[in-house]
Chain A
Amino acid sequence: MLASPSFGALDTAIVVVYLAISVAAGLLANRVVTGLTGYLVAGRSLGTALSVATMTGSELGLITVMYNAQLGYREGFKALHIGLVAGLVTLVVGVTGFVVVRLRQTGVMTIPEYYELRFGRRTRILGGVLLALGGILNMGLFLQVGGQFVVAVTGMSPDMLRWVMTGLLALVLVYTVLGGMVSVVLTDYVQFVVLSAGLVAMVLIVLSRPGLGMEQIVATWQQRPDEAFDPIRGHGLGYISWQAVLGFVSCAVWPTAVSRALSARDASVVRWQLGLSSLSFLVRVLVPGFMGVAAFVFLTQAGAVVGSDGGFQLEGVAYKSIQAYPVLLREVLPIGVLGLITAAMLAAFMSTHDSYLLCWASVIARDVIAPLHPNPTDRRQLLWTRVGIVAIGAWVWVWGTCFEPKQAVWDYLAITGAVFFTGAIAVLIPGLYWRRASSTGAVAALIAGLSALLGLHDVRAPLGLAEWESWQVGLSTLGLSVAAMVVGSLLFPDRARPVVEVAR
């Protein structure tokens, strides 16, 4: 028999105090920020340690924790390979400085801004539109999943989901609109401290629980008929290659991560930032994935009835597979610690949400509206960015309320992100390293990236492509974008290559 719900007054008090500190730190930023550079890239004044904190804070979100836990719960240990691949790829990018260092040296604030330097204004605007489209679709599920976590971990009624979503969103909007990147960095730091302590404590507590030791967990998964440990036999090299692409994107192409590199003091900080963050990119998959692995064992022991889709029934209540992890926390953690871990998870939610809101809003303001406006002053761009943050927040609320994904959350995120990043890889790398890359090739590559939408189950099924896996669509789209770039550049070369200013 389980002793739930165990979320008590002390836990609630810890969460409330944490949220108050977070918002206060964000509001402080509003007093020191001036100008667009201060608002969007924190005056390019981030040192190495703060860079690592903010990179980890933004990329280790609650959504990341939840989908990785979902994968671990459904697939076992083999799901952890995603973190290993991402960590290794990030380490290589940090050591070599591939893409990010050259991008930092151009002095741009966003990726589409680089497109204009290298390929002209139309490429910037198109790149900005696709980036905003893919990015905003990508964060569409963040709020919903964050709300599901809070509802499951506190034992609230599912009817409260909308109210929880509204409250979470309102908090993030307030400090992001006021303080911009400085606000995001300060809250990321607070969130890193709480989150890292929470992650380590969570592993130790779960492993020290009777029946959930490492040997017991491994033994339970070894009894499963399907492959639970070997990722090559379980998934195949094609799927693992796709994870390597996603690992590269996460650290070197994805705008929220790249904005950290562009906010760094200099190229040396960028290398250290990525080299050290490779550990965060590993842990952000490994720890939640392992928690999912442990959740399966715990729920099996607790007598849960698990369905073929991973959904389960526990003491007469039906849960989705993505809620296995918060249910584990609720049932295993003692009072007080549960509050601390919940605060850590909310920290993860907020630090990602604020970064994404700021990033996509700044892209719309700087890379789509400003190039089309006759007089885009800094004041106007600041205003557009702030309005954009609120508008995207409203859209995320509506999408999170109405949309129900029919595939694993990880697949949804990878495919919506691919709308932008498959084209971006095909444009950025040749732009930085291939002299013959042309603006026609860049536009063709960006448009080819749109075909990634075929990876969404709701788009694939009506077209009779339901049997295609998301990773197959993703790799095909990347290949198409690269081919479009190469063929377009060779057939339609630019008359003169724009001079890219390098600010060292």
Chain B
Amino acid sequence: MSGWALFWVVTVYTAVGVFALLALWVTVAGFRDIQRMLAELREQREDDPPR
């Protein structure tokens, strides 16, 4: 396998592996962020009800 071919093979495997880990973290932590965002928006809505 030539240098560039090997480089792309390693890059594809590494990127997919690390992205899988990132996706797991975002899935869990993102859910908590959504709960916090909705709570903040509800607070804002109570402070500033629509006219």
Contact = CB atoms under 8 A, between A and B. Distances in A.
Contacts of A52: 22, 26, 30
Interface stretch (A43-51, A156-164, A473-481): A43-51
B11 to A, nearest CB: 7
Given A222-B2, A280-B19, A282-B15, A50 B41 contact: no
A470 to B, nearest CB: 24
A221 B17 CA distance: 24
A276 B11 CA distance: 17
Given A42-B37, A45-B41, A203-B16, A77 B26 contact: no
Interface in B5-51: 5, 8-9, 11-12, 15-16, 18-20, 22-23, 25-34, 36-38, 40-42, 44-45, 48-51
Given A49-B25, A229-B8, A379-B51, A189 B30 contact: yes
A276 B22 contact: yes
Interface residues of A, number: 47
A190 to B, nearest CB: 10
A408 to B, nearest CB: 20
Given A186-B34, A197-B23, A229-B8, A218 B15 contact: no
A484 interface: no
Contact of A32 (B5, B20, B23, B42): B42
A189 B15 contact: no
B7 to A, nearest CB: 8
B30 A49 contact: yes
Contacts of B2: 222, 229
Contacts of A33: 41, 45
A279 B15 contact: yes
Interface residues on B, range: 35 or more
Contacts of B19: 196, 199-200, 279-280, 282-283, 287
A34 B44 contact: yes
A93 B34 CA distance: 26
Given A84-B11, A214-B9, A32 B29 contact: no
B50 A49 contact: no
B4 A196 contact: no
B5 A229 contact: yes
Contacts of A230: 4
A38 interface: yes
A397 interface: no
Contacts of B34: 50, 185-186, 189
Residue from B1, B22, B51 with most neighbouring chain A CB atoms (10 Å): B22
A77 B36 contact: no
Nearest to A195: B23
Given A80-B11, A286-B12, A47 B36 contact: yes
A102 B28 CA distance: 30
Nearest to B8: A77
Contacts of A46: 33, 37
Nearest to A214: B9
Contacts of B11: 80, 84, 286
A74 to B, nearest CB: 16
Residue from B20, B23, B50 with most neighbouring chain A CB atoms (10 Å): B23
A287 B45 CA distance: 41
Interface string A176-200: 0000001001100100110011011
A203 B22 CA distance: 16
B45 to A, nearest CB: 4
A159 to B, nearest CB: 37
Contacts of A77: 4-5, 8
18 contacts: A32-B38, A35-B50, A42-B37, A43-B41, A45-B36, A47-B33, A77-B4, A189-B31, A196-B26, A203-B12, A214-B9, A214-B12, A229-B2, A276-B22, A279-B19, A287-B16, A290-B12, A379-B51
Interface of B: 1-2, 4-5, 8-9, 11-12, 15-16, 18-20, 22-23, 25-34, 36-38, 40-42, 44-45, 48-51
Given A52-B26, A282-B19, 18 more contacts: A32-B42, A42-B37, A45-B37, A47-B32, A48-B29, A49-B28, A49-B29, A50-B33, A50-B37, A52-B22, A77-B4, A80-B8, A186-B34, A192-B23, A193-B27, A196-B19, A229-B8, A287-B15
The list of the 8 closest CB pairs from A to B, nearest first, reads A49-B29, A50-B33, A196-B23, A47-B33, A229-B4, A49-B30, A77-B8, A45-B40
